[in-house]
């Protein structure tokens, strides 16, 4: 079962069971704190996975990401890992866009590209997903939501 | 209103299938997937195809291919004969006459044809009612939503009980004076239960409503005699019944087909055409605009001959046995919840289930790693899943080539899912 | 309005086809018909299919067959990749991006999809005008008649001149403020003339009308770059371009596809479905309800790879040469009248003709006895035949596998028709 | 070319060039002579062949058949031969129906049944059509028209 284990790394199962930054505080579109807010709702029509992600942007920097959703362990872990990454790195919009592009490229690489742990943190564990073309959408869901949310913020 | 309890075929009337011999006709079943022999339990999505089907199409294309109904030359005449023989064969498979069988590209197309044609005929007016059920495949739901929206009609749904059976008392009160159409599936592609369709047809007939049956999940699994059943219109898909992609059938009672106007228009369905208007041929040609899927139709004829050769009663008995075996094995696994667990009902070889704490997608991935192909998701029946409080499920579905070994591997593997994911 | 004279491909730019080698890829061309080697001159009705096409479909069905876009299991993922690769291949064949290519069951279906979808969008209102031409195949005529009837719009026709060319002066005055749609064929299946479609598109664009092009008879014969042409929507049929039956393509400019609502509804084209309403995916999935013709689509991808391998410019040059040879041979036979005998126009390898005193059906029968397969009748273009004062004609049509020998046999045989029937 | 000659017998070409009982006298539905009149229009949508056939029935006997049409030699010859046959034999409705049934059966027999010249006269020469399935409709056109016309008369 080595292929399967490469997909479901311990780290992925951990994040999916203990999702980070989960839950949307009820602040609507008018943030109590500084910055502008963008919210994105994404859905995978095949399996019904859904994610709502909210990004708060202060100037050019993404200050905060929250999300809520349901779905398979890959989609939930990916959202959790992404939220962690943003929280830790204090990314600018431009950096986030580059990061998302790189993530998309790696996931579409059919197993030929690895995500760098230095850059992607825990999310680098999602590299194995790229060998499972049917699951790429699951892993991408949160990242597409972030892309959309910061565009709106 | 209750229907007689379904009597599963008795052992005496049927011959046990030689599944190994049957499987040998399907080369793909010998494939290795992730280091294991493929256990293909996704036949409800699309069936595998026996060599005779592939050969029939190839023979046609390499020896007799030509446009049908359109040429005087020898090949065209040969192609036309093969094509019309295929129509007669597929019609006979559901008990019908050739002129009662309209070729379509699949069941979705057949249901859209019916919905649009009824709409074009002006048979549905504002305030009229269309009745369907809460367990339909989207293909037998959204076309009626759209017809209702286009005409101002109201769409109503026969509810399902917790055990997966249709609430026939509710059906009896829903189907009334204003009902123009009653559309229902013979067998749900999620629950596997054979619905009391004769009772639904009787209710519809009392009020003069047109009946439309989705036979996708019954045609490959049980003997069908559509004229005897009395349904007005019924559809099925070639690719789900051992046939090629790109072809399906619409059966219609003769007076009903004759009363409907065309849906698609174009060549080969007309008598006279001027720049400003056209006159149309009688059924079935009226509904067959343009070049028909000739190769696939000839392949489908070979498929139903294959099914008939094995015998639909034998197939049904085999698959009923597999359904029971699956049920017996799955029901006791902790955290497994079977959808539509009604007792004493007639079934095809199909079960959908929820795995507590593990998303269907993950469960399916785990099974795939063991070479077991199942389907995960809402199986194009989202409202049904909502009804049962889940967004997705795992579905294992059998066909005549499915062995008890396939089923046993499934059961063993399902027992390993929750432990693997640590729940 | 005049268009630049068409420049037939020059000998320098192209490589002569090795027709014998190509024909060897089409087993049916070696068949004997009535004691003669088959001379298949009915490719405009349906083309023959090379072995690579049959093999591609068979390989898929015996090794990777599973429902696409719907499963997490290995086969389903493989099938989905093959299917989407096929989309990219076929899209690229007409110069398009994958998401601009909608699978259909054929050109007739594609044109009906467009006509119904435009109707469902409410883009055509009473008094609006739909412009088509007097030389269309019924598939690009009757759907517009029906759309006009459903919406109260007026259907207008660009007339043809005696020599078979479209009257572009008339087109310029017909296409005006009220025109919503301009629908035309790239190449008529009776006349074989390549129409000045760029000029028609320019006229339509001036008034903001949607352009719809029937590319059935151009796709297998000339290089196509639909985005460069600027047409909004275009259709073609797999079976006429070396591919299987049961599949076709609809190309659409992205903003146009995005502006259109669904036509057929069902599974795989939705985002959210409740019992009462559905939300739809973006194009191309929005237009692909239900199980798509997966095997045929994979076959069609192999077909266009084969065409690309030979080279569309080479094919066009070969077929232009055959058209000239046919013309030269037929024009002097007493009693033969060629339809659409315009000089100096770009053509595909196709001629239709009337035999004075002999009905087309009898002429075709005579040719068939010599192993020459042609089509007889109105070729689903009855108004065109009425325009030229005949009810039926004989049509000989070539493809890349057609040899000069096939053409010479035709010419010799046609010379014998009137003597045989004693006229 | 023996197969072709078997289809296009001399007799068929003769009838198609010199069609018998061709032309509809303009008496409408009210016959100047005795009897009732039935008219049928039949069309073969593939090739555009058309026939209009009018039968005058006196009591149970078909007194007269006239027709007009255009199409291939088979369809025209068949109409001419049928009209001849009716004129010569003075058939009853019932006899005509039986005759038409027999004709249909022979033509659909794919070359296995021959029409009896004693019964069918010149029309027996159409037996060869049954080997050419695409032409059966052509030969049947007039006979279907007669069936329909006498039902209406
Ligand atoms: C010009 C043209 N348009 C449309 C069609 C219809 O194509 P299909 O019958 O494959 O739908 C044809 C072929 O019959 C054609 O030649
Ligand atoms: C019950 C049922 N109805 C309709 C359909 C639609 O069939 P198709 O996708 O072949 O058009 C399916 C299969 O997807 C089905 O299972």
pLDDT digits (tens, 9 = 90+) for A80-89: 999 999 988 8
On whether the CB atoms of residues B404 and B324 are closer than 8 A, the answer is no
Q: Distance between the two ends of chain B, CA-based, in angstroms?
A: 43
What residues in chain B have per-residue pLDDT under 50? 1-9, 11
Coil, strand or helix: which one is B177?
coil
CA dist D73 and C355 (Å) reads 13
Q: Residue D31's pLDDT is what? A: 55
Cβ atoms of C332 and B282 closer than 8 Å: no
CB C364 within 8 A of CB C376: yes
Residue of D nearest to C421 (CA): D13
Asked if B153 contacts B124 with a C-beta cutoff of 8 angstroms, the reply is yes
B379 ligand 2 Cβ < 6 A: no
Q: Which of C14, C52, C77, C380 is catalytic?
A: C380
User: How crowded is residue A108: how many other Cβ atoms within 10 Å of its Cβ?
Assistant: 13
Q: Tell me how far apart the alpha carbons of residues D123 and D14 are, in angstroms, rounded to a whole number.
A: 12
Packing angle, helices D73-89 and D136-152, rounded to 10: 40
Q: What separation in Å is there between the alpha carbon of B422 and the centre of ligand 2?
A: 35
Furthest-apart CA atoms within chain D: distance in Å: 49
Q: Is the distance from CB of A9 to CB of A124 less than 8 angstroms? A: no
Both tokens assigned to C312 = 């569309």
Contact A23, A118 (CB under 8 A): no
Give D64-129 as a DSSP string.
EEEEEEE--HHHHHHHHHHHHHHHHH--BHHHHHHHHHHHHHHHTTTTS----HHHHGGGGGGGGG
Calculate how far, in angstroms, residue C237's C-alpha sits from the geometric centre of ligand 1. 7
Q: Which residue in B241, B302, B321, B409 sits closest to B15, CA to CA? A: B321
pLDDT tens digits, C184-223: 999 999 999 999 999 999 999 999 999 999 999 999 999 9
Q: What is the pLDDT of residue B5?
A: 43
Q: Strand locations in D45-140, DSSP E?
A: 49-58, 61-70
Find out whether D64 and D56 touch, Cβ atoms under 8 Å: yes
Does the C-beta of C218 come closer than 6 Å to ligand 1? Answer: no
**Best mutation site among C245, C301, C361, C372 for testing chain B: the one with the most B CBs within 10 Å?**
C245
A to B CB pairs, distance under 8 Å: 47
**Option in C358, C361, C365 nearest D4 (CB):** C365
Give the per-residue pLDDT at C348: 98
- 3-class secondary-structure state, position D126: helix
Q: Within a 13 Å sphere around the CA of B34, how many CA atoms are in the beta-carbon half? A: 21
Which of C361, C385, C387 should we substitute to test contact with D (largest number of D Cβ atoms within 10 Å)? C361
The beta strand positions in B134-197, using DSSP E, are: 154-158, 179-185
Q: Which of C360, C364, C5 is nearest to C199 (CA)?
A: C5
Residues of C in contact with A135 (CB under 8 A): 72
Nearest to B261 by CA among B123, B99, B120: B120
Angle, CA of B290, B295 and B299, to the nearest 5°: 130
Residue range B216-264, pLDDT digits in tens? 999 999 999 999 999 999 999 999 999 999 999 999 999 999 999 999 9
How high is the pLDDT of residue D32? 61
Number of Cβ atoms within 10 Å of the Cβ of B389: 9
What angle (nearest 5°) sits at the alpha carbon of residue D113, between those of residues D110 and D117? 130
Tokens 């192909």 belong to which residue? B373
CB C72 within 8 A of CB C283: no
Q: What is the mean pLDDT of chain A?
A: 90
- Whole-angstrom Cα distance, residue B196 to residue A26? 49
Of C54, C72, C245, the CB nearest to B291: C245
List CB contacts of A112: < 8 A, sequence separation 6 or more.
A130
Closest CA to B354 of B335, B371, B333: B335
Rounded-to-integer distance, Cα D52 and Cα D69, Å = 6
Candidates B111, B113, B139, B214: which one to mutate for ligand 2, based on the most atoms within 8 Å of Cβ? B139
> How far apart (Å, rounded) are the C-alpha atoms in residues C93 and C315?
14
Judge if the beta carbon of residue C120 lies within 6 A of ligand 2. no
CB-facing half-sphere around the CA of C316: CA atoms within 13 A:
23
Query: Which pairs count as long-range contacts for A68-72, CB under 8 Å and 24+ apart, including other chains?
Result: A68/A22, A68/A23, A68/A24, A69/A141, A69/A142, A70/B391, A71/A44, A71/A47, A71/A138, A71/A141, A71/B359, A71/B361, A72/A47, A72/A135, A72/A138, A72/B359, A72/B360, A72/B361, A72/B362
Cβ of residue B185 lying under 6 Å from some atom of ligand 2: yes
How close is the Cα of B247 to the center of ligand 2, in Å?
A: 12
- Out of B106, B219, B240, B378, give the residue to mutate to test ligand 2, the one with the largest number of ligand atoms within 8 Å of its CB: B240
C-alpha distance from residue D151 to each of D40, D53, D62 (Å): 10, 12, 11
| Inter-chain CB proximity C80 and A135 less than 8 Å | no
pLDDT at A22: 93
Helices (H), C234-357: 254-259, 294-310, 312-330
Per-residue pLDDT tens for A93-152?
Answer: 999 999 999 999 999 998 899 999 999 999 999 999 998 888 999 999 999 999 999 999
Q: What is the pLDDT of residue A25?
A: 80
Residue C6 has pLDDT above 50, yes or no: no
Residue length, chain B? Answer: 423
Residues C192, C165: contact at Cβ < 8 Å? Answer: no
Ligand 1 pocket residue status of C106, Cβ below 6 Å: yes
Output the average pLDDT for chain C.
95
* Residue B63: burial class (beta carbons within 10 Å; 0-12, 13-18, 19+): middle
From B108, B134, B218, B244, mutation site for ligand 2 pocket: most ligand atoms within 8 A of C-beta: B108
Q: Is the CB of B391 under 6 A from ligand 1?
A: no
Residues of A in contact with C80 (CB under 8 A): 133-134
B212 Cα: distance to centroid of ligand 2 (angstroms): 14
**CA B291/CA A14 separation, integer angstroms:** 56
Q: Residue B195 Cα, ligand 2 centroid: separation in angstroms?
A: 16
Cβ-based neighbours of C162, under 8 Å, separated by 6 or more: none
Q: Is B71 in the pocket of ligand 1 (CB under 6 A)?
A: no
The helix (run of H) or strand (run of E) holding residue A39 is: strand A36-43
Q: How far apart are CA B330 and CA C58, in angstroms?
A: 36
For ligand 1, say whether the CB of C219 is within 6 Å of any of its atoms.
no
| Residues of A in Cβ contact (< 8 Å) with B378 | 47-48
Tokens representing C145 are 């008649």
Closest CA to C401 of C334, C322, C298: C322
> Is the pLDDT score of C118 beyond 90?
yes
D interface residues, C as partner, C-beta within 8 Å:
1, 3-4, 7-8, 13, 17, 46-49, 70-74, 132, 135, 138
Rg of chain D over all Cα atoms, to the nearest angstrom: 15
Crossing angle of the two packed helices A73-89 and A136-152, in degrees rounded to 10: 40
Q: Say what the pLDDT of residue C3 is.
A: 44
State CA D87 to chain mean position distance: 12
Least distant ligand from the CA of B294: 1
Mean pLDDT for A1-7 is: 81
Nearest neighbour of D133 by CB, restricted to B81, B270, B272: B81
Residue C245 has pLDDT above 60, yes or no: yes
Q: Other CB atoms closer than 10 Å to residue B25's CB: what's the count?
A: 18
Q: Are B185 and B195 in contact (CB under 8 A)?
A: yes
Q: What is the pLDDT of residue D27?
A: 60
- pLDDT in the model for residue D108: 92
Strands B372-373 and B39-40: parallel
Better-scored residue on pLDDT, C15 or C399: C399
Closest CA to B300 of B128, B150, B114, B93: B93
Q: What are phi and psi of B162, to 5 degrees?
A: -60, -30
Atom number, ligand 1, closest to the C-alpha of residue B291: 9
pLDDT tens for the 153 residues of chain D, in order: 478 998 999 999 999 999 999 998 866 555 566 788 999 999 887 777 899 999 999 989 999 899 999 999 999 999 999 999 998 888 999 999 999 999 999 999 988 999 999 999 999 999 999 988 889 999 999 999 999 999 998
Could you say which of B172, B207, B264, B380 is catalytic? B380
Q: Do A45 and C80 touch (CB under 8 A)?
A: no
Helices (H), ranges, chain A: 2-7, 10-17, 73-89, 93-107, 117-120, 136-152
- The pair phi, psi for residue C72, each rounded to 5°, is -95, -10
Q: D-chain residues within 8 Å CB-CB of B265?
A: none
Active site includes B216?
no
| Interval C63-71 mean pLDDT | 81
Could you report the per-residue pLDDT of C257-308, keeping only the tens digit for each?
999 999 999 998 988 899 999 999 999 999 999 999 999 999 999 999 999 9
Q: Does residue C132 have its Cβ closer than 6 Å to ligand 1?
A: no
Q: Which of C240, C247, C300 to mutate to test the pocket of ligand 1 (most atoms within 8 A of CB)?
A: C240
- Ranges assigned E (strand) in C194-237: 210-214, 233-237
Report which secondary-structure segment, H or E, holds D7: helix D2-7
* The two three-digit tokens of residue A62, written as one number: 């993404």
Residue C419 near residue C353, CB atoms below 8 Å: no
C372-373 and C39-40 strand pairing: parallel
Distance CA D115, CA D124 (A): 5
Name subunits touching C (3+ CB pairs < 8 A): A, B, D
CB contact under 8 A, B65 and C54: no
pTM of the entire structure? 0.94
């Amino acid at each position: 079962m080595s292929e399967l284990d490469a997909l479901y790394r311990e780290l992925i199962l951990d994040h999916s069971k203990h999702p980070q930054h989960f839950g949307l505080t009820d602040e609507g579109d008018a943030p109590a704190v500084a910055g502008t807010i963008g919210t994105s709702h994404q859905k995978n029509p095949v399996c019904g996975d859904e994610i709502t992600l909210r990004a708060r942007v202060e100037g050019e920097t993404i200050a905060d990401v929250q999300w809520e959703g349901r779905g398979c362990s890959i989609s939930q872990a990916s959202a959790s890992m992404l939220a962690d990454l943003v929280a830790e790195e204090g990314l600018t919009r431009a950096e986030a866009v580059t990061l998302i592009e790189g993530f998309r490229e790696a996931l579409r690489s059919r197993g030929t590209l690895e995500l760098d742990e230095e850059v992607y943190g825990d999310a680098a564990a999602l590299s194995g997903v790229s060998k499972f073309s049917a699951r790429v959408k699951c892993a991408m869901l949160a990242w597409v939501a972030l892309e959309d949310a910061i565009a709106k913020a | 209103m209750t229907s007689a309890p379904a009597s599963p075929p008795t052992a005496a009337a049927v011959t046990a299938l030689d599944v190994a011999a049957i499987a040998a006709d399907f080369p793909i079943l010998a494939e290795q997937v992730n280091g294991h022999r493929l256990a293909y339990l996704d036949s409800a999505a699309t069936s595998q195809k026996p060599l005779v089907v592939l050969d029939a199409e190839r023979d046609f294309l390499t020896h007799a291919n030509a446009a049908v109904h359109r040429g005087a030359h020898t090949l065209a005449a040969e192609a036309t004969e093969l094509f019309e023989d295929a129509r007669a064969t597929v019609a006979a498979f559901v008990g019908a006459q050739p002129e009662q069988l309209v070729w379509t590209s699949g069941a979705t197309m057949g249901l859209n044809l019916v919905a649009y044609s009824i709409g074009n005929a002006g048979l549905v007016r504002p305030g009229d009612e269309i009745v369907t059920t809460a367990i339909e495949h989207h293909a037998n739901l959204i076309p009626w939503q759209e017809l209702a929206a286009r005409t101002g009609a109201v769409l109503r749904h026969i509810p399902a009980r917790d055990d997966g059976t249709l609430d026939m008392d509710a059906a009896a009160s829903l189907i009334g004076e204003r009902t123009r159409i009653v559309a229902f599936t013979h067998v749900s592609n999620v629950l596997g239960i054979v619905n009391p369709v004769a009772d639904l047809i009787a209710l519809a007939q009392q009020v003069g409503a047109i009946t439309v049956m989705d036979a996708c999940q019954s045609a490959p699994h049980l003997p069908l005699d559509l004229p005897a059943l009395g349904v007005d219109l019924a559809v099925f898909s070639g690719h789900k019944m051992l046939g090629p992609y790109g072809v399906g059938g619409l059966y219609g009672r003769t007076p009903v087909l004759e009363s409907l106007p065309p849906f698609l228009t174009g060549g080969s369905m007309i008598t006279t055409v001027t720049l400003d208007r056209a006159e149309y041929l009688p059924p079935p040609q009226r509904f067959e605009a343009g070049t028909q899927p000739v190769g696939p139709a000839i392949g489908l004829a070979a498929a139903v001959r294959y099914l008939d050769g094995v015998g639909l009663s034998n197939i049904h008995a085999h698959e009923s046995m597999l359904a029971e075996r699956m049920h017996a094995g799955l029901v006791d696994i902790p955290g497994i919840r079977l959808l539509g667990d009604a007792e004493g009902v007639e079934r095809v070889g199909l079960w959908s289930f929820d795995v507590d704490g593990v998303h269907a997608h993950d469960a399916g991935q785990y099974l795939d790693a063991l070479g077991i192909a199942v389907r995960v998701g809402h199986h194009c029946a989202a409202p049904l899943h909502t009804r049962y409080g889940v967004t997705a499920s795992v579905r294992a579905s059998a066909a005549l080539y499915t062995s008890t070994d396939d089923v046993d591997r499934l059961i063993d593997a399902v027992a390993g899912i929750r432990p693997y994911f640590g729940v």
